[in-house]
Structure 1
Amino acid sequence: MSDKHPVTALLQAWRVGEESALEQLTPLVYEELRKRAGYLFSGESAGHTLQPTALVNELYGRLVDVEVDWQDRAHFYALCSRIMRHILVDHAKAGRATKRGGNMLIVSLDETGIVENASEAQHRQTETEDLISLDQALQQLATLDKRKAELVEMQVFGGLSFREMGVVTGLSESTLDRDLRFARAWLRSRLATPSV
């Protein structure tokens, strides 16, 4: 195994059926995933019904059943971004059904792509929207430009850096920056338009 990228080596070993690889992989990626999930909840109230640890645990439950040809660490975290998005949207929809508008994350389309807490978001109402609205807008963007929607998903829900997104997509940093700027502007415009 390469000392440089043990996660990649373990993912590849897990892919070919080495059960011990998953046991070794879990502690290596668990804390990183929990940290990335923590960004989604930074500043949220302690009473929020879904916490980073619960999100990562549910993510693990879904990963076990996924048949993926793991390429490397960056691809793993990109897939985790997509699964976290689905978990959070499902949770938000369930919360909305239980109590219309209650207990939802507020998301921001700022330069970092990181979710803000609700008190910070109140100061930036024009740049924030609830998770379900963002998910719907991302679905619309994906019909127009799937790559840009996937980049937003990787950055916002997975916390992937430009370097990691570059590994996954093969795009240069300047192309990633341009695509993400366009996607954020398009999403802000779409989210600012009231639904009919």
Structure 2
Amino acid sequence: MNGEFTTWLSRWRQGDLAARDRLVDAVYPELRAIAQRQLGNERIGHTLQATALVNEAYLRLSGLDRIEWRDRVHFVHMAARVMREVLVDHARRRAALKRDGGERVSLTALELADGAGSVDITALDGALEALQRLDPDKARLVELRYFGGLTIEETAEALGSSPASVKRHWQVARTWLFEALSGPH
């Protein structure tokens, strides 16, 4: 499947819209699972649904004609990043309307031992941007694991690293994010 997926990515890059449609059909269940996982971390009563999140991400991805898609993991990583952007945009619009704070997400998926509750998604986005400036590899690891839903093994493959290294870096990234999000605001 991964070889066929890579072929579809290549053909889409060359302008074959039928290949794009096949690719989306093949990856849609995975994207929907990522969306459901991300929305599962949102506050109760969140107005954005998984289907809408996937559709908005798809529209944004479709506009990225110049991306050199490498493989399924690269595509899923970009889709997860775009879904994060959609959630942050949605939270900012909602906060602008209410002026009482933004959307909140649970950090339990980050498996923080310190019992982190929920955090404003815009704060999480800001923390990830700060981590990106300090350590782009750890920020990418967080995107792949938390937003992309990849396993340790899949993340290691995507990063060209060993599972043991990914586990160590994942612990450091989670700790850094917890401290960044728990610090004075």
Shorter-chain TM-score tier:
0.7 to 0.9
Consecutive unaligned residues of structure 1, counting only runs of 5 or more, are 114-123
Alignment correspondent of 1:16: 14
- 1:166 pairs, out of 134, 140, 156, with 156
C-alpha distance 193-165 of structure 1, shift in aligned 2 (>3 A): same
Alignment correspondent of 1:57: 55
For residue 98 of structure 1, what is the amino acid of its counterpart?
L
Consecutive unaligned residues of structure 2, counting only runs of 5 or more, are none
Q: SS where residue 61 of structure 2 aligns?
A: helix
- How do 1:1-196 residues align onto structure 2 when only pairs under 5 Å count? 3=1, 5-42=3-40, 47-66=45-64, 67-101=66-100, 104-108=103-107, 110-111=109-110, 126-195=116-185
48-57 or 3-12, which deviates more: 3-12
Do the aligned residues in 2 keep the contact of 1:59 with 1:80 (CA within 8 Å)?
A: yes
Do the aligned residues in 1 keep the contact of 2:110 with 2:146 (CA within 8 Å)?
A: no
Instruction: Measure the CA separation in 2 of the matches of 1:45 and 1:181.
Output: 25
The alignment-based identity, stated in percent, is 39
Structure 1: which 4+ aligned runs deviate by more than 3 Å? 43-47, 100-103, 109-113, 124-128
Alignment correspondent of 1:119: none
Do the aligned residues in 2 keep the contact of 1:127 with 1:188 (CA within 8 Å)?
A: no
Instruction: Measure the CA separation in 2 of the matches of 1:68 and 1:44.
Output: 30
TM normalised by structure 1 equals 0.83
User: 1:132 deviation in Å?
Assistant: 1.0
Do the aligned residues in 2 keep the contact of 1:14 with 1:21 (CA within 8 Å)?
A: yes
State the superposition RMSD in angstroms.
2.3
Do the aligned residues in 2 keep the contact of 1:75 with 1:168 (CA within 8 Å)?
A: yes
84-93 or 98-107, which deviates more: 98-107
Instruction: Measure the CA separation in 2 of the matches of 1:160 and 1:51.
Output: 21
Instruction: Measure the CA separation in 2 of the matches of 1:4 and 1:136.
Output: 33
User: 1:166 deviation in Å?
Assistant: 2.2
Do the aligned residues in 2 keep the contact of 1:78 with 1:168 (CA within 8 Å)?
A: no
160-169 or 182-191, which deviates more: 160-169
Instruction: Measure the CA separation in 2 of the matches of 1:194 and 1:44.
Output: 23
